[in-house]
Structure 1
Amino acid sequence: MAKSKKKKRIWLWVVLGIVAVLLLAVIGYVLYVMISYHRLPDDLALEIRQPTEGGEAGAEVSAGTDYEIMTYNIGFGAYTPDYSFFMDGGKSSVAKSRESVLETVSGAGGLAAGYDPDFMIYEEVDLDSTRSYHVNQYELLDGFFGSYYSDFAINYDSAFLMVPPWEPHGKSLAGIALYSKYPVTSGVRKSFPISTSFSKFLDLDRCYSISRIPVENGKELVIFAQHMSAYGNSDAIREAQISKLCGDMQAEYEKGNYVICGGDFNHDLKALGDVSEDRESWAYPFPREKLPEGFSFSIDLLGEEERASMPDSARNADMPYEVGVTYTVTLDGFIISDNIIMKEYENIHTGYQFSDHDPVRMVFSLK
């Protein structure tokens, strides 16, 4: 009897020991995430990379000439058409393989380079991330845009996230790349307002970049490259991000500069109406009344029929892409100031071949 009680006590201590070790591991991990948390400083100057081959050295943009700009969220190279993402309700939290990442990023690079745009914006470009097998996607894209000037704004540099536990999303270092055929004189990274609650430790940082390109008439073409928050941020955070972005755009416009803002807005850009309509939390209509005077979304300059029939630029990743079944929405596009003329506008539909987004292109000229 005494031996039986002794055995039970031993097993109890073993179980308690295991629980204690697990508890210490959880506490240690939480402390690691909290201690390692940081945000990059606001108004961070960006390095301007010079062309590695050719380039338009000394060239300037001029009024009355047609130029082409594109934006493309490449989804850290993970989203093949059959990929689903855990934060959308799907399965995976990392790309299928390193080879798959190389293939999708190269596909996105080749697709855009085939249009030979004057300016190119890429979002969700990983530099060194667990989720994309540490492939430096900026260097990979450079191979398609060697004759361009470029800058890179780090969007987020996260701690190692142990979610989901069976396939951790891991550590992410990623951002927004801008490529320009014409010299970029300076670039700056601006921090978007984000949540200040505990959720900030698990959410991803957000930013936009401001890049300056000289125009022959003495003004500047100022390109804002941005990626707004998604995944159910509060109305207050959403409004704060829009307010800061619009304030900076307005300041440039008041200087007499030409302003283009492109990227993933994480708002439904086709929807103009009822915000109470049942929709995904990252697909609310963008509040047009918040735009400064003299600015408009390029998509709003299309005819109603053309706008409605245009393919959507993004898909939900809760399931593999299935035509007519998967939820799609237009999140990507451009805002332009009224001293810019839009000539062409297109959502390039690839069937989401290389990402959960498709590229958007615009042809424009300066007045």
Structure 2
Amino acid sequence: MKVVKKIGKYLAIFLGVVVLLLAGYVGYMQMHYYRLPDKEKLSVGNQQEARLSLNKDYSALTYNVGFGAYNQKFSFFMDQGELKNGQKTQGTRGTAFSKQAVIKSTDGVISTIHQQKPDFVLLQEIDTHSTRSHYVNQVKMLEKNMPGYDYTFANNFHSAYLFWPLNDPHGSVESGLLTLSKYHADRAIRRKFPITSAFISKFTDLDRCFAVMRYPVKGGKHLIVINSHMSAYDKGGKMRKAQMKLLSKVIEAEYRLGNYVIVGGDFNHALGPDMLKHFDHEEKVPTWISVLSQKMLPKDFVMVKAENRMKVATVRSTDMAYHPKVNYQTVGDGFIVSKNIQTKAVNINTNYRYADHNPVRLEFKLLKNSPK
């Protein structure tokens, strides 16, 4: 009987310690939780002097670089899926395989950008000082290797140390959106997206935002370039609807002023209902994907459909390593533009060597006379 009581006592002490540790950790996370303010002014480094003109050919590239972790072998611990045969799948890793793996993937991203030679570059999920990317400053790597561009960084993920998964903790994160340009920017601001306030989810979701860049155009108007990364872990798409509502309000206001507007980035939507189940795969459609259709956009804006979108997807599932025709794939990255811009786009097939996304290239021309 004494032995049983002693075991019970030790068990109670152990459970008490666990509860105290958990309570302390939750307090630590809450103490370090904050959201950056809306309409925060962003600094533009390495400012360029060239000005944009009407009826001239330009290009832009959007690319979610996945903090340098997502090579073809990488799977992410937060992603869950299910094969069509009912088998459950879940990613495993909280950090990149190694520092060298991050550098290799980031070098691959830089090489891809150099090959495309775009005038504007919109990057998402690019780290500055994070456990998950072994503290490689990807932003500095891009700045160093892109000397002919200005650069503007908007933080959209800043978190205390996440002790999960236990065998490979995601750790602390400093990450965001990086926009590069060969042309002079008048101003840049960070707009705050609405995100979930649920107690646990708010610690793991990003401080979602979009960066608004203003480039003067000869003749008095501006090209507004928006770098956006919408919510992913948003079952039912409630937050994404609210985010799309805010984004629509901003771009409509700019268009009414006579400006030209380009929104590029990772929308975490299938860009069109026809893209939701288009590609061959053995997985069911995951819960993180929603559908963005043309009717959801303001009337003077269009979703640019890449010429090769039926053949090249832009994002793969990460609940497992990459296996062609097994992973779910769709077109979730691209551009939305105002109707006073002439465009064509192509999805660049990198075969997911450097990230879980493929980049999208936009070629565009600012029209002197807007279409009716």
TM-score (norm 1): 0.91
> What amino acid does structure 2 have at the position aligned with 1:166?
N
Deviations 1:125-156 (A, max 9, x none): 01111111111110011122111111111011
> Hey, what does 1:290 align to over in structure 2?
296
Are residues 308 and 147 of structure 1, via their aligned partners in 2, closer, same or farther at CA, if it must alter by over 3 Å?
A: closer
- Alpha-carbon shift at residue 281 of structure 1 (Å): 2.3
| Post-superposition offset of 1:42 | 0.5
Among candidates 29, 33, 46, match of residue 42 of structure 2: 46
1:212 and 1:223 in contact (8 A); partners too:
yes
**Greater radius of gyration (CA):** 1
**Separation (CA, whole Å) in 1 of partners of 2:268 and 2:221:** 30
Q: Deviations over 1:260-286 (max 9, x none)?
A: 0000000001425999xx732222210
Q: State whether residues 272 and 286 of structure 1, in contact with CA within 8 Å, keep that contact through their aligned partners in structure 2.
A: no
Q: Does 1:27 align with 2:37?
A: no
Kindly provide the amino acid, as one letter, of the partner of residue 144 in structure 1. Answer: N
Q: Does the 8 Å contact 1:110/1:144 carry over to 2?
A: no
Name the residue aligned to 1:214: 216
Aligned to 1:155: 156
Q: Which residue of 1 aligns with 2:67?
A: 76
Distance 2:211 2:275 in 1: 29
How big is the shift at 1:227?
Answer: 0.1
**How many residue pairs were aligned?**
350
What's 2:286 paired with?
Answer: 280
**3-state SS in 2 of match to 1:107:** helix
Equivalent residues in 2 for 1:345-364 (5 A)?
A: 345-364=345-364
SS of 2:132 mapped into structure 1: helix
Displacement of 1:325 in angstroms is: 1.6
In the alignment, is the contact (CA less than 8 A) between 2:127 and 2:174 conserved in 1?
Answer: yes
* Corresponding residue of 1:63: 54
The structure with more helix, counted as a fraction of residues: 1
Contact 1:50/1:149, CA 8 A, preserved across alignment: yes
Cα distance change, pair 76–312 in 1 and its aligned pair in 2 (3 A): same
CA apart distance, 1:166 = 2.3
What's the offset of the Cα at 1:8? 5.0
Aligned to 1:251: 253
- From the superposition, tell whether residues 235 and 80 of structure 1 become closer, same or farther in structure 2 (CA, over 3 Å): closer
Give, as a single letter, the amino acid of the residue that structure 1 aligns with 2:317.
Answer: N
TM-score for the superposition, normalised by structure 2? 0.90
RMSD over equivalenced CA pairs, Å: 1.8
Which stretch of structure 1 is more off in the superposition, 194-203 or 244-253?
Answer: 194-203
Shift in alpha-carbon separation, 1:81–1:224, aligned structure 2, 3 A: same
Unaligned regions of 5+ residues in structure 1, if any?
none
User: In structure 2, what residue type is equivalent to 1:66?
Assistant: D
2: distance between equivalents of 1:159 and 1:28?
Answer: 13
Share of identical aligned residues, percent?
Answer: 39
- AA of the residue aligned to 2:16: A
Q: Give deviations 1:159-209, integer Å, cap 9, x for gaps.
A: 211222222111111100000000111100011101122121332221001
Matched with 1:341 is: 342
Write the letter of the residue equivalent to 1:211: M
For the Cα contact (< 8 Å) 2:309–2:347, is it kept in 1? no
Which structure has greater strand proportion? 2
Tell me the amino acid that sits aligned with residue 364 of structure 1: F
Corresponding residue for 1:13? Answer: 9
Aligned-partner Cα distance in 1 for 2:204–2:354 = 26
Corresponding letter in the other structure for 1:27: A
Kindly provide the amino acid, as one letter, of the partner of residue 294 in structure 1.
Answer: D
